[in-house]
Amino acid sequence: MSVDVDALVDRRRLRRKVTFWRIATFVVIAAALIGGLIYVSGASELSKRTAHIARIPIEGVILESRKTLQMIEKIGKSDAVKGVVISINSPGGSTTGGEALYEALRKLSEKKPVVAEIRTIGTSAGYMIALASDHIVARYNSITGSIGVLFQFGNISKLMETVGVEMDAVKSAPLKAEPDFYSQTSPEARAMLQKLVDNSYDWFVSLVAERRSLDMPRAKELADGRILTGHDAQTEKLIDAIGGEDVAIDWLVSEKGVPKDLPVVTWSANENLEELPFSSRVSREFGKGIGSALLEPVSEAKGLIPRGLTLDGLVSVWQASDAADNNP
């Protein structure tokens, strides 16, 4: 009987120890997660409140982003930002997206000294954004240029004829809903699209001429869609210097009087954690972990479709979009 009592007591002691360590492990993990979140969000917020150089990353296909435009406006109002580096790694994107960023960055340059750094690639609308700065730096072998505008569309009329399918439409006017996928483009529709492209192209070339101090004939000569290395772009006066972010920052220090050895802080339109209540930050990060696991297969499938095919309207983009997608 004594043996049974002793065994029962031992089991209860063991159960209490296991329960204690389970609770302790949970508390430690929870504290680590919460502490890490506080540190990351707090450090990010603190770094943006002290004097620094703001880095604005422009990466992947360029679209008009309200959050990015609001972030640029916020940088302009920040007394802690002493200079700005536009870090570009993009083949371009929608012409209106590039235009919106260009205008926002030109307004920013009225308040802060702004320099652009072209990393692996900065072409078309990516180069358009670089024009918003007062100094452009690129690596010797960076790819830039591709100045121009494109309106691209498909036509499946021959495929439909092969499979025996016909499409018909009643229009209010001949140019309504042109071009379409189901019939050959009429000369009138093609002329309309060409006028659209030419108008946007002339605007783009005028930016190049104005911002790079080139006469219009020379700017148009360079705006034939060609791509250039950073070295050739410097020779053609499309950029100012060869180098990376360190060279860009040296220019801010030497030419704009930005204090030396300031930290460089990345501002991202996707990083708004510090603006959320603490409980929301915890919930958001927890949900993000679960969501990424569930949506990863969908993202991989979506990646099979080139980004360029999902752009509507006029685009200013070099076709090798995968060269810059998701490169930090």
Active site residues: 124, 176
Could you please report the per-residue DSSP string of 40-63? HHHHHHHHHHSSEEEEEEEEEEE-
CA atoms within 13 A on the CB side of 181: 5
Pairing of strands 81-94, 52-62: parallel
Q: How far apart are CA 305 and CA 310, in angstroms?
A: 8
Q: How far apart are CA 109 and CA 126, in angstroms?
A: 17
- The single-letter DSSP state of residue 212 is T
Q: Which helix (H) or strand (E) holds 290?
A: helix 278-302
β-sheet bridge partners, residue 116: 86, 136
Q: How far apart are CA 286 and CA 153, in angstroms?
A: 42
Q: 55, 265 in Cβ contact below 8 A?
A: yes
Q: 204, 182 in Cβ contact below 8 A?
A: no
Q: 121, 59 in Cβ contact below 8 A?
A: no
Tokens of residue 100, six digits: 């919106």
